[in-house]
Amino acid sequence: MIGIFIYALGSRQPEKFESVVLINSIGCKSAPTQTVGTVVAKNIVLTVAHGVAGQVANSITTIDGSVIQAKIVAIDTELDLALLYIGADKGGVSLVPIVLGSAKANSKAKFISFTDDEQVTQTAKVIRRLRINTQDIYLKEKVSRPGLEIDANVVVGNSGGPIINDKNEIVGIVWATSRSIQNRSWATRVEAANDMLNLLSMSNPESTTPEVVACFR
C-alpha cells in the first residue's frame, strides 16, 4: 500500500488562488478535521473524502478570511473524493471555479496548501501518470485510482490540496506521501471526479442526497 494520508507545507510564493479554500469539519467522534478544497463548479468544492467522511458540520475559509458553511453532496470512499455545496448565504463572497485540466508527465506544477489560515504555494513536478493500487479510506477494500506521482515537499497539514498546472488548471488532488522516498507524493487525477459532478443537479445541488458513510478516523 502507498503512503499515509498527508498534508502539505513547502516553499512560499506570493501567488494566491481564490478558488482554493480551507475546510474545517466537526462531528466525527471527537476529532475535528482540517483539509483543503478547490472550487471546481458553481458553489461546488472538491476535496478528499477521508477529511469529511462522517462529519456533520463543514465550513470553508477563503483566502480573505470569509467563513461560509458547506454541505456534503457527494462522496466516494474508494476514490477518496468528496464534493461540498456552498449554500446561498455566502455573505457576498464570490468564488470563481478553477478550470479542470489534464496533467502531463515531467511537467512543472504548483501544490497549494494552508499553514493555519494562510494559503501557501510551493513548486512541484508531475513525474508521471499512473494507476495507483491502494485501499479505500477505511483500509479495507483494494481499489485502483487514476493517479499522479508528484515531486513536492509534503508533510502532515493539508490533505486535499490541489496540483495546479502551468495554465492554472487543477489536474490532481493530493492524498498521500511516500514512506520511503523523500519529496514523493501521490494525487488522484481530477477527472476521477467527473462522475460525481455529472450526477449532481447543478440547478439545485443541495437536493442531492449523498451516500451516508462512517467516520474515517
User: Residue 149: which of 169, 176, 167 has the closest Cα?
Assistant: 176
Q: pLDDT digits over 140-187, tens only?
A: 999 999 999 999 887 766 789 999 999 999 999 999 888 888 889 999
Q: pLDDT digits over 56-103, tens only?
A: 899 999 999 999 999 999 999 999 999 999 976 666 677 899 999 999
As a CATH number, domain 20-96+194-201 is: 2.40.10.10
Q: Are strands 57-61 and 20-26 parallel, antiparallel or unpaired?
A: antiparallel
Report the sign of the C-alpha dihedral through residues 169, 59, 5, 63, in that order.
positive
Residue 62 · residue 7 · CB < 8 Å = no
| pLDDT in the model for residue 9 | 45
Between 25 and 201, where is the model more confident?
25
Residue 157 · residue 180 · CB < 8 Å = no
Q: Is the pLDDT of residue 216 over 60?
A: yes
Residue 208 · residue 199 · CB < 8 Å = yes
| pLDDT in the model for residue 14 | 53
Residue 101 and residue 211: Cα distance in Å, rounded? 27
| pLDDT in the model for residue 12 | 46
Range 142-146, long-range pairs (CB < 8 A, 24+ positions)? 143/78, 143/79, 145/78, 145/79, 145/80, 145/188, 145/189, 145/192, 146/188, 146/189, 146/191, 146/192
Residue 170 and residue 112: Cα distance in Å, rounded? 10
| pLDDT in the model for residue 7 | 45
Q: Is the pLDDT of residue 4 over 60?
A: no
Q: pLDDT digits over 17-40, tens only?
A: 999 999 999 987 667 888 999 999
User: Residue 110: which of 39, 167, 189, 190 has the closest Cα?
Assistant: 167
The residue ranges of every structural domain in the chain are 4-13+99-190, 20-96+194-201
Q: Is the pLDDT of residue 206 over 80?
A: no
Cell of 189: 487525477
| pLDDT in the model for residue 94 | 76
- The torsion angle over the Cα atoms of residues 153, 157, 45 and 149, rounded to 10 degrees, is 30
Entry pTM: 0.89
Report the SS3 class of residue 51.
helix
| pLDDT in the model for residue 27 | 85
| pLDDT in the model for residue 159 | 87
| pLDDT in the model for residue 185 | 93
Report the SS3 class of residue 98.
coil
Q: pLDDT digits over 112-137, tens only?
A: 999 888 999 999 999 999 999 999 99
| pLDDT in the model for residue 87 | 77
The CATH architecture assigned to 4-13+99-190 reads: Beta Barrel (2.40)
Cell of 197: 459532478
| Residue type present at position 77 | T
